[in-house]
């Protein structure tokens, strides 16, 4: 005999930020007990399903606490946490007609994301059976702590087609066009997920842009796009600026150790041994065919200083911007920021490396993005 579907609802409480959902599959889910425990963590609770499978909906400030609790009752899948505060800003705030979307492979400070109303679709990551939604259920500080201390090396996965579809469908009611800028197709399936979701979205034309960049390189490109939106340019003008920004932005990745790229499968253990023996420090970058080595420094000391010197010699003539992303090493980034400001950078954006790159780059790594503004069309 089939189990009846049961629903439990609680009045909406606007004090909660995240609309959170997940599925739980178990042998004998005690829905009454689960509901009682959920009531301590949020509002607007809906629990539907059977003893074998249940769907949870709740408004909460701590999505990870919800997923952790549900994990006690069975296998948790389909984790989702939408930021209702940002949705409310889009629904009722003042904004332009064109939305800018990135995935969390893009590294930008939260204040820039907020100021320019840049929408972010999160990457997912897991430490074994512990699943997270980037920047929603795990903070950068928690990620770096786990990366250093957890014996299980994390894995990341791109946002799903459904993740992008939900974002695009929500924006449909508030924008006339969208420009979606993402990790390169050569290193991630993110672009494919976004393309499929865009094709499935009615009422919102979405232009997809392969950034051919990563981390704060995507951040500088998205910032150029968002600035153009604020200046009131039309979609074609903004796309022209974005494509120029893609071509004029280069990322340089310096690693403190090769341990994490080996754990992540990007570099073989034998290559690591040779590099360590010869005291070679590879400098990596994004290219149209993937991530390549574009330079090297030598010696086990002053790696960051040598990276900064290498990049300084690559700065093009004319105005330029710099993006810095660090692997839980703000002091390293601060020294680099001072250096590039003294060189005359128009803007230096500093942030942390997110999990999409961080699982491979590791602690104390530094990403430097250089963006030439010589061909800038506006401001």
Q: For the chain, give every domain's residue range.
A: 1-83, 84-247, 249-372
pLDDT tens readout for residues 119-155: 999 999 999 888 888 988 888 888 999 999 999 999 9
Cα angle value 256/212/201 (rounded, 5°): 125
Please determine, for residue 377, whether its predicted confidence score (pLDDT) is greater than 70.
no
CATH of 249-372, one of 3.40.50.970, 3.60.15.10, 3.30.1180.10, 3.90.1150.10: 3.30.1180.10
Between CA 6 and CA 24 the distance in angstroms is 14
Task: Tell how strand 177-182 and strand 206-210 pair up.
Answer: parallel
Is-contact 45 8, C-beta < 8 A?
yes
The DSSP call for residue 233 is -
CATH of 84-247, one of 3.90.170.10, 1.20.1250.20, 3.40.50.150, 3.40.50.10170: 3.40.50.10170
The reported pTM is: 0.84
> Mean pLDDT score of the chain, rounded to an integer?
90
Between CA 71 and CA 228 the distance in angstroms is 44
Q: What is the CA radius of gyration of the chain?
A: 22
Give the Å distances, CA to CA, from 128 to 26, 72, 138, 151, 153.
19, 16, 15, 10, 8
Please determine, for residue 209, whether its predicted confidence score (pLDDT) is greater than 80.
yes
When pLDDT is cut at 50, 70 and 90, the band that residue 92 belongs to is low
Instruction: Give percent of the chain with pLDDT exceeding 90.
Output: 73
pLDDT tens readout for residues 148-202: 999 999 999 999 999 999 999 999 988 999 999 999 998 999 999 999 999 999 9
User: Tokens representing 66?
Assistant: 């919800």
Stretch among 73-82, 319-328, 344-353 having the lowest mean pLDDT: 73-82
Q: Identify which has the larger pLDDT, 259 or 377.
A: 259
When pLDDT is cut at 50, 70 and 90, the band that residue 278 belongs to is confident
Please determine, for residue 11, whether its predicted confidence score (pLDDT) is greater than 50.
no
pLDDT tens readout for residues 50-73: 999 999 999 999 998 999 899 899
User: Tokens representing 312?
Assistant: 């300084």
Please determine, for residue 206, whether its predicted confidence score (pLDDT) is greater than 90.
yes
Please determine, for residue 360, whether its predicted confidence score (pLDDT) is greater than 50.
yes
Number of H helices, E strands in the chain: 14, 17
Please determine, for residue 378, whether its predicted confidence score (pLDDT) is greater than 70.
no
């Amino acid at each position: 005999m089939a189990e009846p579907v049961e629903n439990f609802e609680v009045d909406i409480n606007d004090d909660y930020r995240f609309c959170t959902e997940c599925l739980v599959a178990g042998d004998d889910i005690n829905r009454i007990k689960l509901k009682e425990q959920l009531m301590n963590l949020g509002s607007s609770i809906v629990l539907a399903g059977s003893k074998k499978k249940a769907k949870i909906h709740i408004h909460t400030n701590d999505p990870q606490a919800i997923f952790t609790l549900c994990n006690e009752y069975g296998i948790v899948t389909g984790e989702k946490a939408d930021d209702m505060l940002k949705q409310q800003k889009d629904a009722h705030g003042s904004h332009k007609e064109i939305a800018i979307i990135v995935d969390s492979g893009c590294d930008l400070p939260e204040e820039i994301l907020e100021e320019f109303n840049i929408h972010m679709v999160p990457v997912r990551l897991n430490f074994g059976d512990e699943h997270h939604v980037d920047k929603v259920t795990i903070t950068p500080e928690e990620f770096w702590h786990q990366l250093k201390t957890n014996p299980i090396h994390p894995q990341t996965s791109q946002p799903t087609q459904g993740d992008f579809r939900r974002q695009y469908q929500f924006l449909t009611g508030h924008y006339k066009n969208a420009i979606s800028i993402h990790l390169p197709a050569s290193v991630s399936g993110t672009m494919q997920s976004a393309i499929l979701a865009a094709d499935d979205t009615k009422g919102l034309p979405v232009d997809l842009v392969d950034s051919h960049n990563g981390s704060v390189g995507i951040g500088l490109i998205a910032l150029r796009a968002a600035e153009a939106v604020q200046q009131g340019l039309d979609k074609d003008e903004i796309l022209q600026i974005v494509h120029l920004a893609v071509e004029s932005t280069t990322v340089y990745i310096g690693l403190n150790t090769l341990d994490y790229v080996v754990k992540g499968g990007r570099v073989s253990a034998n290559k690591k041994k040779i590099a360590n023996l010869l005291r070679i420090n590879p400098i990596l970058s994004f290219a149209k065919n993937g991530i390549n080595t574009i330079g090297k420094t030598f010696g086990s000391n002053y790696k960051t200083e040598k990276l900064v010197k290498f990049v300084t010699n690559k700065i093009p003539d004319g105005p330029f911007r710099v993006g810095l992303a660090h692997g839980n090493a703000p002091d390293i980034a601060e020294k680099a920021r001072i250096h590039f400001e003294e060189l005359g950078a128009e803007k230096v954006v500093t942030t942390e490396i997110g999990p999409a790159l961080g699982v491979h780059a590791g602690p104390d790594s530094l990403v430097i993005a250089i963006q030439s503004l010589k061909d800038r069309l506006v401001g």
